Copies of this chain bind each other. A is one copy, B any other.
Amino acid sequence: MGTIDDRLAELSLVLPPPMVLPPGVVLPFAFVMVRGDRAVISGHGPQNADGTVAGPFGAVGDDLTIEQGYDAARLVGLSILGSLQRELGDLDRITGWVKALGMVRCGSSFTKHPAVINGFSDLILDIFGAEVGAHSRSAVGMSSLPFGIPVEIEAEVLIS
């Protein structure tokens, strides 16, 4: 096992399997697109352990608390790591996180997007450490997201 696999085991984290899509949904794109030394990661949502899209669904601040939003963002991070592991074979190939665009479904008066997307950033920093895990980030409010998920995140890493 690699260093990151060891770290995942240490934290008792299990990565979800490939996404199990709702009936009728077709996603004709790559969940992770490797071009040169970049792995560009599609927008991911939270997954259950069986691969299905995880609830709770709704808007953070209205239907979900900030803590529930934070947990959803953390699940999105695990979903992204699952996709990266399947595409790269070994998460130790990640030499540095580059960026993340964190999108929170919420109402027009919501202001605490950073506290929600911290669920993702804290996870990545905890697993990869302060140097490899460091990343730029935006956290913004969307009027809606696919399947009713509360958080969607797209990201990019450099690989060897």
Chain A interface residues toward B at CB < 8 A: 25-33, 35-36, 38, 40-43, 59, 96-101, 103, 105-115, 118, 121-122, 125, 134-148, 152, 154, 158
Q: How far is the CA of A108 from the CA of B60 in the complex (A)?
A: 12
New contact pairs (17) apart from A107-B108, A107-B143, A113-B146, CB-CB < 8 Å: A25-B114, A26-B114, A28-B118, A29-B121, A30-B137, A31-B136, A33-B134, A35-B158, A40-B98, A99-B154, A103-B140, A108-B143, A108-B144, A111-B145, A139-B146, A140-B145, A141-B145
Q: Return chain B residues, CB-CB under 8 Å to A114.
A: 25-27, 146
Sorted nearest first, the 9 A-B pairs with minimum C-beta distance are A43-B138, A141-B144, A33-B136, A29-B137, A143-B143, A42-B136, A138-B154, A40-B136, A110-B144
